[in-house]
Structure 1
Amino acid sequence: MVRFGYKASAEQFAPAELLRYGVAAEERGFDSVFVSDHLQPWRHDGGHAPAALPWLGALAARTERVAIGTSVLTPTFRYHPAVVAQAFATLGCLAPGRVILGVGSGESLNEVPLGTTWPDGKERFARLKEAVTLIRRLWTEDRVTFEGTYYRTELATIYDKPEQPVPLYIGASGPAATRLAGRVADGFITTSGKGHELYTDTLLPAVAEGAGKAGRSTDDLDLMIEVKVSFDPDLEKARADTHYWGALALTPEEKTGVEDPVEMQRRADALPIDRTVSRWIVSADPDEHAARVAEYLDMGFRHLVFHAPGPDQDRFLALYGDEILPRLRAR
């Protein structure tokens, strides 16, 4: 089954406005709504960072059909994994069969301001693996005593568990975490705009490798990708809209070690539009746009979640619901 979702940009919109867009996405025919969980946004001026957990509860109460979840939440620093397990078990009780927990190894922008000493990638990956193991045990067992390298519990119980299990997805952009997703997760999350070879030659084979080690195939996972799209009949507007999200076009070297949204904004705003459009599918023609999006379906992804950069999300939802989703579903 192929699904098409909406990325609710928590870094760009205030909580109530963002909630309205999430509800509108269901009304416009989208299949899912995902939200990031940031403590700080990518930019200071005009930035937002609503907490994902209460926001998802509000979205669950205002919608009836769409799947809802995080893309992604870090269950290893600001939160103890047991808190994440409890929160998503509760959401699963409130919106049965609709809640997805997407997790990742984290961004220093969200953790260092709270006094965290940011560890290297090896430790972040180890913490993620341990957190996933503990969350799964708390969802399926009672009185869990867990002695890990980073987390411990003693006779811990999640008392309110949903009748339908909450799927757990792992977000990754490198082969090790991607193999982990294939081995232990219900879904894999990545983002678009990084060159087709990364997906076809590295990430998707790594998912398959991990799944094979667990006696599974990629058919057993939801292969999800956040597709960054800027579609508008006015091509210059579509291009200009990407400026707000200029941080996404910064190279790892340009943003590594930057934990201050003011500084991240300064670096992003210094980029020309020709750089900021590089991470997005930018188009004014619906047939051409749908064809470029469909390349990710051809790679094997089955759950496309669309992230639009512009300030007028009502316009995006209407245009995409009327012009692009029907073309994609017709495939």
Structure 2
Amino acid sequence: MTLRFGYKASSEQFGPNELLRFGVLAEEMGFDSVFLSDHFQPWMHEGGHAPAALPWLGALGAQTQRVLIGTSVLTPTFRYHPAVIAQAFATLGVMFPERVILGVGTGEALNEVTLGLDWPDSPERFQRLKESIALIRELWRGERVTYDGKFWHVQDATIYDRPEHEVPIYIGASGPAATRLAGRIADGYITTSGKDPALYTDTLLPALDEGLGKAGRAAGEVDTLMEVKVSYHPDRQTALEKTRFWAPLALTPEEKRDVHDPIEMQRRAAELPIERVASRFIVSTDPDEHVAQISKYIDLGFRHLVFHDPGFDQAEFLRMYGAEILPRLRAKYGA
């Protein structure tokens, strides 16, 4: 079975230089990929960070040799014109051939509203994402592009530096519409762990299959990436408390929808009990239990597992997971 195991670099929690050291260490410890989210603002005001993804990916690519690098996710529809993203990721693809992935999503108010940008409802955000992907690909494939869409317009545009192999585009989604779109047009599909199992089995994976079917594609044509939230430490209480910084992840979509201020997001998250905070994570002191819980996602069909640890000692996590968890997973699945 072909599996990949990646590392989620927490750009919301660490500054760019520290984060870069972790990305390099991830390659040394045997991880196959390194992804980060592209946020203008973090989830938490106190102790939060938000380094820009584009220059950081260039720095990581220059200091590593083999890991795949990419965004999980970036929004190419508000802060960025899609043509700017097409140019940036074409450049990264030239510099680091067949190592770069563009992960995209519909966006969050936290990143856009603060800049005075309009924040439309979900259907429009979805249509903007769909059109932006079409424009990016047209710019990558065309010599002289004029595009007149509903949201984006370019005239006589050329991306002059393009890689030999086109950068794959992954769509991040937690709902059926964007998941179907991933099945229809994307090279990969990104979602996150720790939610109701029925969401994956009854909603998301059937939507992915539906999208694949509509496009006449085989399942293997789309990489299935699960961002798996884990908290591993020999001490149970330490493993539990590590999740506190990421309490906003435990807020429901209704509780965080349209919140654009990290201070307000932090206030809402601070009201949550630790048990609810930790509910999105696999929290355990036992490496075999981690493998068993991760295996549930592999058994569902996810082939690219990207691990996100919530703690502040990321070097400790990378060494422990690289030494104790990844070898067990590879042995179990012959990967």
* TM-score normalised by L of structure 1: 0.99
Partner of 1:146: 147
Partner of 2:128: 127
Partner of 2:55: 54
Partner of 1:19: 20
Partner of 2:198: 197
Report the AA paired with residue 208 of structure 1. D
Report the AA paired with residue 7 of structure 1. K
Matched, 1:318 2:333: no
Alignment of 1:1-331 (within 5 A): 1-331=2-332
Aligned partners of 1:239 and 1:282 also within 8 Å: yes
Report the AA paired with residue 37 of structure 2. S
CA RMSD of the aligned region, Å? Answer: 0.6
Pairwise CA distance, 1:212: 1.2
Pairwise CA distance, 1:143: 1.0
Aligned partners of 1:208 and 1:217 also within 8 Å: no
The CA deviation string for residues 190-221 of structure 1, in whole angstroms up to 9 with x for no partner, is: 00111111111111111111111111021111
Pairwise CA distance, 1:258: 1.2
Q: Any idea what SS the aligned residue of 2:170 has?
A: strand
Aligned partners of 2:187 and 2:223 also within 8 Å: yes
Q: Any idea what SS the aligned residue of 1:112 has?
A: helix
Kindly tell me the number of residue pairs found equivalent between the two proteins: 331
Report the AA paired with residue 115 of structure 1. G
The CA deviation string for residues 136-185 of structure 1, in whole angstroms up to 9 with x for no partner, is: 10011111100100000001010000011100000001111001000000
Provide the rounded CA distance (Å) in 1 between the counterparts of 2:113 and 2:66: 37
Report the AA paired with residue 133 of structure 1. A
Aligned partners of 2:90 and 2:140 also within 8 Å: yes
Provide the rounded CA distance (Å) in 1 between the counterparts of 2:257 and 2:4: 33
The CA deviation string for residues 46-71 of structure 1, in whole angstroms up to 9 with x for no partner, is: 10000000000000000000000000
Q: Any idea what SS the aligned residue of 1:225 has?
A: strand
* TM-score normalised by L of structure 2: 0.98
Pairwise CA distance, 1:257: 2.1
The CA deviation string for residues 15-71 of structure 1, in whole angstroms up to 9 with x for no partner, is: 000000000000000000001000000011110000000000000000000000000
Report the AA paired with residue 316 of structure 1. F
Aligned partners of 1:82 and 1:135 also within 8 Å: yes
Report the AA paired with residue 168 of structure 1. I
Aligned partners of 1:181 and 1:187 also within 8 Å: yes
The CA deviation string for residues 64-104 of structure 1, in whole angstroms up to 9 with x for no partner, is: 00000000000000000000000000000010010000000
Report the AA paired with residue 85 of structure 2. V
Report the AA paired with residue 145 of structure 1. T
- Structure 1 residue runs of 5 or longer lacking an equivalent are none
Aligned partners of 2:108 and 2:258 also within 8 Å: no
- Segments of 4+ moved more than 6 angstroms: none
Q: Any idea what SS the aligned residue of 2:35 has?
A: strand
Report the AA paired with residue 222 of structure 1. D
Report the AA paired with residue 242 of structure 2. D
Q: Any idea what SS the aligned residue of 1:69 has?
A: strand
- % identical equivalent positions: 69
Report the AA paired with residue 323 of structure 1. E
Provide the rounded CA distance (Å) in 1 between the counterparts of 2:284 and 2:241: 12
Provide the rounded CA distance (Å) in 2 between the counterparts of 1:153 and 1:161: 18
Pairwise CA distance, 1:223: 0.3
- Structure 2 residue runs of 5 or longer lacking an equivalent are none
Provide the rounded CA distance (Å) in 1 between the counterparts of 2:56 and 2:64: 12
Provide the rounded CA distance (Å) in 2 between the counterparts of 1:28 and 1:248: 27
Aligned partners of 2:101 and 2:168 also within 8 Å: yes
Q: Any idea what SS the aligned residue of 1:248 has?
A: helix
